[in-house]
Each structure stands twice: as structure tokens, then as C-alpha cells.
Amino acid sequence: MTEYNNLLKFVFSVLISFVCISALPAAAQEQAPRSVGQRAQALQERRQHLEQDAADAQQEIETEYAKWVALINSGQTPDDTNVSDGLKFIARNRKFLPILNRQQKGDFYSALSAWVYYFDDKPDKAMRQIVSAYKITPQNTNVVKTYFALSLIYRDYSPLAEIIAAQEISPSVEEPSILQDSSYQQPSGAELNLDISRIRSDLLGKTFDIHSKISDYNSSLSGKKLACLFLWKLDPNELEKFTTAAVPAPVEKTAELVPSGESEFEETAGQQEQIYESRQETDKKNPEIDLFSQLQNQFAKNTDVVFAAVNFNAPDKAKNVKNWLAENPQQWQAVPPSAQLQQAVTSFIGSAPDTPMLLIISPDSAVRYLGNIDSFLPQMLISNILANLQEFADSNEPNQPLKLPKAPPLEEQTEDDEDQPQTTPQIEQAAPEPSPVERRAEQTPAQDRETPKETTPPAQPKNQIDEDFFDPRAETLIEHARAFFKIANRLQHHTYSKPVEMCKTVIKDYPNTKYSEQAGTLMRQVPERFRERFDITDEELGL
């Protein structure tokens, strides 16, 4: 009997053990979906927090951008401290850029970055940022003006016609889908003081040898100097008031340029006294004259630039113009009305100027600006030319632009993972960068400037990582690969094929970028026993 009872106990023990062992895989299978669901929920919460942080950062970015716009409009140059603070600001908020781009709000960040890099003397980075912003939100007027201004400063004239044409598209013409996006609202607030419609972009870079023509009026205008010419004329009705000369006042006389052999500007005896309008009233009627005087005063101590005003009133009114200048003395040099000089300028620009215009010609006789004077661009352009005067001297290729990176395609952006390390801004001071003229390349034809299907990262020397290169496709691949690796590391049967394939694609398509470096770091999670199966090399792992 005892043996029978022991046998029953043994049978029951075996049955119970079998049932328990059978239940373990089922329990594991029931818990797995709950674990994946919890991770997905945690990831969603982290994304929501990141989006909220991005919304808060957007307000700070707009405030910072407004501060820089005010600085640019005032014609001031930020000091090293302001530039350093700007670099730190854009580095701190870079992680929010994918979210802001997806919401069509990345234009503020990119436009701000472009100006910070401009004042930090990083032309390639400045253009990369503004090209990216223009492709995402070409409706933003500040982005358009920044793109136009930097292209002109860096002598990349090829995009200018496209920018102007885009601003003149008729509503009846079928527009690209991004221009028809009704969800985009033009940002309000600070706006750059620049009217691109008043700039003759079709003449930029063309040769106009004005130095030899103006040198007839004064020897200081001869030679290869930066020439800033003010094309102006007085209202005929006002000019008639200056038929006779007024009694000379005890003030400094205008530096007058009189060609040898001309006598229209000579003083004559027996001139009658005449009362003219006050200088203050004259400046109200001719604000451009006052702006040109202010511009001349900023560079008065620089002997490499010459400021002169070419008058376009009728040549037979030369005496009237002289009388007006005697009553309204200026510091800049005045070129009297000359039919020969007027004809030369008119033939080049196509017609006599109806409104005052500023013509800037570099020492290589190339036109660098022709347009209105009431904006920040002339002062910024003159400063840039004087700082790099050797680049604008005579050369076989005086008008070659900087070789600029292609813009990223218009794809849906994705946010960076919260665990991704942030980059710390580095202010490079030790080794000077090559000058822009050393980076000149042949100008790209218009048909080659279309948005590519896939962004090609700018060429980098081996082992040098471009931390500022941004591409939405690479961002998406890295994020998906990171998510797949997290799932694979938690499953019993590891499935590394998909994330490894994504990382290899990134390394192949985006070499020497932060994305290839991140892909190599991710693939190090693959155990060594599996690396041979996926043909993972040490070079891909960065070892």
C-alpha cells in the first residue's frame, strides 16, 4: 500500500512539473507585447516632451533672431562676444531643428544661424543654412532677403534671378505645392530692411570700366580702387531756383570735380545774392543724399575706397548744380553733369536712373551692386570687399562664386532621439581658414541647381566629421536603426539584419558626417559572433 501511494505521488509530481514548464513560454509570450507597448508609450511621452521643449525654444529663437535683425538693420557689426554667444545659442537649440522643420518653423533658426556664421566668417556654413531654410519655407520674406543678400556678398549670383522670379509669380500661375500651403503664416515682427526688387541683379558681376572715365574729373579716382558712385539728380523745378549763386557762407566747400577745359563751374563776377531753402529742408526732400553722406563718413578714413556723386541733370544746368552744392556742401566728391559720362552709364544700365541709385564697382571693374541706398546691404557689401580687397583685384576669374552645398530635399523631418549627445560650439581661432577666393569653383549652370532627389554631403577630408551637415533622410535612418537595435537587444532571437542594413546605407551615402559616425557606434551593439554574418568591418565600426 505504501509503495502504491508513493507511486501516485511521483506521478502527480511529474504532471505538475510538466504543466508548470509548459506555462512558462506562454507567460513570456503574453508579457512580451506588454513590454513593447510600454516602450512605445515611453518613447511617445519623450517625443511629446521634446515637442513641448521645441515650442518653448521657438519663442527664444524668434526673440534672438529679432535682436540680430535690429543689429543688421542698424549697420552695426557684432563683437566677438556677441558672435560667440550666437554660436552657443544655435548649438544649444540644434536638436529642435527637425521638429521645427516639420512644422515649417525652422526658418527662424536657419536664418539666424546664417547670419551668425556670416559674422563668424564662415561663408560655407552661412550659405548652407540659408539654402536649407529657403527650400523649406520660400514664403518667408526674411529668408528670401537673407538668401539674396548673402548670395550677393559671396558673389554667387546664379540664384538671384530665381529668387526674384519666385517673388513675381502671379497667383494665376500654378505654383509648387509648398507655395500653396495655406497652413504657413508669414511671421510678424522684425524684418530686414532690404527691397530686392530695386536691385539690378542682372548686371551684377559684369565689367564696367568706370575708373578711366571718372578719372578725367579728378586724379584721386584713377587707379584700381573700390568706387562707390551715387547716381542722382535734382528736381528740375528746384534746380531753377539756383540760377544765380548765393553769397558764400563761411562753411567748408564741397570737393568739386571739374574736368580740365570746362568753365561751367567757374565763379563769375557780379552774381546776384539769392536766398535758398535751408539745408534741413533740402535733406527732407533728398533723403538719399543724406544716406550717401552717412555711408561716406563710415569709410572716410579708408584710402582704398572713393565716394563720388555723378549728377544726371541736363549738362546745361551745370551752373545750377554748382550753386546748389555751394549752398548744400557735401563731403563726397561731386561730378558735374557731363553728357559723355551720362551716356556711358546709361548705355550700361539701359536707361537713365529715375530715382537715386548706388553703383559699387570693385577694383577689378566688376559691378558688385546697383540699386537703392536705403538698406543695410551697401554698407555690409563695402565692408566685405575692403576686408578681402585682394580677392577683388584684377584676375582671370574675378567673378567666380563660392562653391556652395546643395540644399536638402523637401522631405518630412523627424526629431532627434533625446539620448543623442549635443554638440558643443567650438570657436576656431588657431588655424585660419582659406580665403573665399581659394574656394572659388566654376559657376553652376541653372539646370544643375534643381533640388536633388538625395542630398550629397559636402566633401570632407578623411577622418574629419562635418557636425553641421543636416539631412532628413539620414536623420530618419538613424532614428529607425536606433529603435530596431533597442528591440533586437531585448528579444530572445536577435534580429539585427534590418538596423545593420540601415546603418550600412548611412555609412555608404553619408561618409565623413556625424550620421556615419552615429551609424558605426550603433553597429557596435552587434555581438562579435554575428558581425561576420552581416559582413561588418572594423572600418564601418570606426575601430
| 194 and 295 housed in the same domain | no
Q: Do 361 and 227 touch, CB atoms closer than 8 A?
A: yes
User: Which pLDDT score is estimated for 216?
Assistant: 66
Domain for residue 60, yes or no? Answer: yes
User: Which pLDDT score is estimated for 44?
Assistant: 78
Domain for residue 454, yes or no? Answer: no
- What is d(CA 310, CA 303) in angstroms, rounded to the nearest whole number? 20
- What is d(CA 67, CA 76) in angstroms, rounded to the nearest whole number? 12
Strand partners, 309: 230, 334
User: Which pLDDT score is estimated for 367?
Assistant: 93
| 411 and 526 housed in the same domain | no
User: Which pLDDT score is estimated for 40?
Assistant: 79
| 443 and 340 housed in the same domain | no
Q: Do 296 and 230 touch, CB atoms closer than 8 A?
A: no
> pLDDT tens, position by position, for the chain (543 residues)?
667 677 777 777 777 776 666 655 554 554 445 556 777 777 778 778 888 888 888 889 989 999 999 999 998 889 999 999 999 999 998 888 888 877 667 788 889 999 999 999 999 999 999 998 888 888 889 999 999 999 999 998 888 888 887 776 544 334 444 334 445 555 656 789 999 989 998 999 999 887 777 766 655 565 678 889 999 999 888 888 888 765 554 544 444 444 444 434 444 333 333 434 444 455 456 789 999 999 999 998 888 898 989 999 999 999 999 899 888 888 888 888 888 888 999 999 988 888 999 999 988 889 999 999 999 999 999 999 998 887 776 544 444 554 444 444 433 333 333 333 343 333 333 334 443 333 333 333 433 434 434 444 455 455 566 666 777 788 888 988 888 888 777 765 567 888 898 999 999 888 888 888 899 989 888 888 888 888 888 888 877
- Rounded to 10°, the helix 2-73/80-92 angle is 150
Q: What is the CATH number of the domain that holds 329?
A: 3.40.30.10
* Number of domains into which the chain is organized: 3
Range of the domain at 284: 211-264+271-392
User: Which pLDDT score is estimated for 449?
Assistant: 39
| 418 and 345 housed in the same domain | no
| 233 and 105 housed in the same domain | no
Lookup: cell for 536: 561588418
Domain for residue 292, yes or no? Answer: yes
Domain end, chosen from 411, 434, 449, is at 449
Residue 10's alpha-carbon distances to 1, 2, 7, 17, in angstroms, are 14, 13, 5, 11
Q: Give me the torsion for CA of 261, 263, 264, 268, rounded to 10°.
A: 170
Domain for residue 6, yes or no? Answer: no
| 225 and 340 housed in the same domain | yes
Pairing of strands 333-335, 305-311: parallel
Lookup: cell for 435: 580665403
Residue among 208, 230, 232, 210 nearest 221 (CA): 210
Domain for residue 125, yes or no? Answer: yes
Q: Do 208 and 350 touch, CB atoms closer than 8 A?
A: no
Residue 338's alpha-carbon distances to 98, 267, 324, in angstroms, are 58, 19, 17
Residue 87's alpha-carbon distances to 82, 264, 272, 425, 514, in angstroms, are 9, 57, 64, 6, 18
Lookup: cell for 194: 532690404
| 282 and 355 housed in the same domain | yes
| 372 and 422 housed in the same domain | no
- What is d(CA 58, CA 93) in angstroms, rounded to the nearest whole number? 9
| 431 and 379 housed in the same domain | no
| 353 and 376 housed in the same domain | yes
Q: In 3-state terms, what secondary structure has residue 333?
A: strand
User: Which pLDDT score is estimated for 145?
Assistant: 93
Task: Give Cβ neighbours of residue 509 (< 8 Å, ≥ 6 apart).
Answer: 454, 474
